[in-house]
Amino acid sequence: MSDTSSLISRRHLLGAAGALAAGAPFAASLLDVPALAQAAAPLKVKLGWSGTGICLISVPTAVEKGFFVKHGLDVEVVKFGSAFDQSLEAVASGKIDATVNFILRFLKPLEQGINIKFTGALHGGCIRVLTPTSAGITDYTQLKGKTIGVVDLASAAKNFTSVQLYKAGLDPNKDVEWRVYPVDLLGEAVRKGEIFAAADADPGIYLVLKNSNGSLNELGGLAHGIYKDLSCCGVAVRNEFLTENKPAAAALTRALLEAADWVHNNPDEAAQIFTAYSPIAKPILAEIIRSHTHQHHFGGGPDLQKEVAIYADDLKTVGILKPRTDPAKLSDRIVVDVLS
């Protein structure tokens, strides 16, 4: 990302302070101009983002539409691609201040004590589980004995599918086989019979579904059942940054929530913004954006605590979280309200 937005924000704010001093003598006599300029200086934040995750389009939107600048921020966006572990290490070690990603991926490291907290939720609906249309699969019980393709054995989609299998009475470690493929090969792997089902997040899995020309069907995902009313991705901020720079953490959260609201109300323009980050055609990007619940966003209050507790309970049931972990207590510990 270029430094254009940072430069604009700094010049705008410092220029406003100078105009006040030159054009309003009375006000200038009451305020120390250098102090005013210092107070108005943008708050610096390093924010991690995949660079390709369309479900997290709030990040480039906040850059392009000026939401970061509006809230007095100078944000450096650091791209990690699909390397979740690298972004997690970066925020935990202080290389970056905050990141955005799947709640389902954060929960195990958070249970283990990694020093970050959720300050907000951005949207829902971006994980899908696909099966052959010809098989007529309508329930996860029908996946018993089948092979499921995922892009990573620690992925949010694999965790999600494991939970659904468990709820259907299956053991996700014994009753199915997991196989790893790049997302763009999942559809071909199903066609060849190497796997029976596939699970991943958008935009990749949406393209697999769309390019199947009806041969694949969406069995489930974060747009189905209880999950259609839950968030799937959150804003995670390093504890020390929260303590030392709470105004910046609050401003970052507000800017991202406002960007999410804008995306919900302007999906076609949001798709145009994302063409700078993706080779996917704008109309398809707009389809994907509309399929997500960008209207489902809020800060780290009781609503987010309840949702995080639901996910934590899910992961506990399949043994990803420890049996002794209390989902409600974990949620209370790792969700913080910086907006009140």
Closest CA to 290 of 304, 311, 269, 259: 269
Closest CA to 293 of 68, 71, 57: 57
The C-alpha atoms of residue 119 and residue 223 are separated, in whole angstroms, by: 23
CB atoms within 10 A of CB 293: 23
The C-alpha atoms of residue 306 and residue 23 are separated, in whole angstroms, by: 51
For tokens 């935009």, the residue is: 203
Provide the 8-state DSSP code for 313.
H
Answer yes or no: are the C-beta atoms of 77 and 49 closer than 8 Å: yes
Q: What's the pTM? A: 0.86
Q: Which amino acid is at 60?
A: P
The C-alpha atoms of residue 20 and residue 22 are separated, in whole angstroms, by: 6
The C-alpha atoms of residue 232 and residue 200 are separated, in whole angstroms, by: 13
- pLDDT tens per residue across all 340 residues of the chain: 433 333 333 333 333 333 333 333 323 333 333 333 345 689 999 999 999 889 999 999 999 999 999 999 999 999 998 788 999 999 999 999 999 999 999 999 999 999 999 999 999 999 999 999 999 999 999 999 999 999 999 999 999 999 999 999 999 999 999 999 999 999 999 999 999 999 999 999 999 999 999 999 999 999 999 999 999 999 999 999 999 999 999 999 999 999 999 999 999 999 999 999 999 999 999 999 999 999 999 999 999 999 999 999 999 999 999 999 999 999 999 999 999 8
